[in-house]
Structure 1
Amino acid sequence: MDSPHGAAVKAEDFGLKGPRGWAFRGVGIDAEPGSLIAVEGPSGSGRTCLLLALTGRMKPTAGHAEVGGHRLPKKMAAVRRLAALGPVSGVNDLDQALTVAEQLREGALLQRHYGAPVRAMLRPRAERRAVAEARIASALEAAGLDLATLPKAGRTSVRDLERLESVRLSVAIALLGSPALLALDDLDLKLSDSERAEAWALLRSVAARGITVLAVCSEAPADAVVLRTCPRDPDGAQGSDVPDAPAVAEDDADADSGSDTKNDSENDSENDDKKGADDALAEAGRA
């Protein structure tokens, strides 16, 4: 697997507004290539929308960002080419009907057709197969997934993988394209404390290779550049905490919005937040 230079991630007053209000707004960040960036916040607070916007999959409606020298929203296609998605529910889910080996071969095939230079397509079939197998082996090593440890090795069904194994497989497939930016959603979902530590150790090792990593989580590690998102108020505006880390998601909602939020039940608020994020996702579209 190639070791590309990571993508610097910068944003100023970055935001996305959907039919029900802001999915996120006022986001600022200045992260160097090879950084480990954590998007921290409760479910429904616009975390996934922010991740997809920074990877060129959703069109922002306020401010601007720059990823790998490409300015958003003008250069969304260029950002998509350098940014690979790990696990993002509803966007690039693993195929539960495939085996692990089949999923890896499919990922390599897609990369060969859409990411490889034309000259690579002209190589003899045996050479192309050998190159693909070498890339898969390298990506698996980088993702820390040893097929020999699975119940049926490469013939193990994707549906039978543990959550952390599934994350590792998704990361391996994403790394097949030698991205400058790797983005993952809900990294710590359904992971025990020890598994969560393993997942962050994996991402640190990827960042150590020079690849910038952007991961959505409920709780960020101390060594990450942190972007924090917060639920919106009842009028649809989203506020954000100001973190200590260099990356800042600023709170530019009305000052009295917090008191209004207290009058709503927690369940209603969370449902509204999720609905707002879903609406924004539908309006902006996915690439």
Structure 2
Amino acid sequence: MPNQKPLKLIYFCHGVPGSEHDSVFLQDALPAGVELVAANLLAAQGDPKEACVRQFDEMTAGYEEAKVHLVGFSIGTMAAAHIAQARPERVAKLTLVSSAAPLTLGDFLPKTAGAPVFKIARSSPRLLTVLIVLQGLLFRMRPTVLLKGLFAKCGAQEKELIERPEVASVLQAGLANSLVRHHESYAAYLKAYVSDWSAILPDIRCPTELWHGAADTWTPSEMAWAIKEALPTDAQLHIVDRAEHYSTLQAFGNTLGEALRSSADYSSSEK
């Protein structure tokens, strides 16, 4: 339990595949005095849509008085949305980065790089398990090969980012978390994601913003527009020119850090 209330509490929901280490894209940009709590979503047991809320309660239990800035990245959008809907009294703001929208909101799969996996998750849970096991074996033997294969069709900005050793290690940690340590939870998240969870979006009332890369091939920008239309509030949508999936997360982290440093009354805002 923390000794004093932080200037601000940011709660981060990583992508899937991924891990809590994805939060480095935010942590490295934050000024001193800002607390970042990053959950390992896959470590929570049970239905992901309920487990993420229980995990949020447990990990923020020491900050009862703090208002939370909730950040969801990629499929972490689903977790963040469920938390915002279930705990409106705790969430001051919701930010969705490279957001993965419910597939029932549009015909997104033709433009989505992970479409084959999502189709398998929809139609054949057994085949999904086999696929994850095979990917896990490949990762154990040739982690770099699997990582490069996942980003084979990304653009120049994303390739430059993932070729940095410190970023590659974060991405490999996410693959190890998903394909090796928590492969059953990984499968459960994929199956939960491809189900229809759009009904919770109209219940999210907190201020919301979306950040999306104009060149994102993992989650096409149509997903961000669909979420914006489904929310009852006038959510702000920031389209980042030339950015893709992780490069948008980095751009958001840098902008957030700059905004916090320039806000003289930050410690008293959103309380």
The answer to which structure has the higher strand fraction is 1
| Higher CA-based Rg | 1
What TM-score does the superposition give when structure 1 sets the normalisation length? 0.30
The answer to which structure has the higher helix fraction is 2
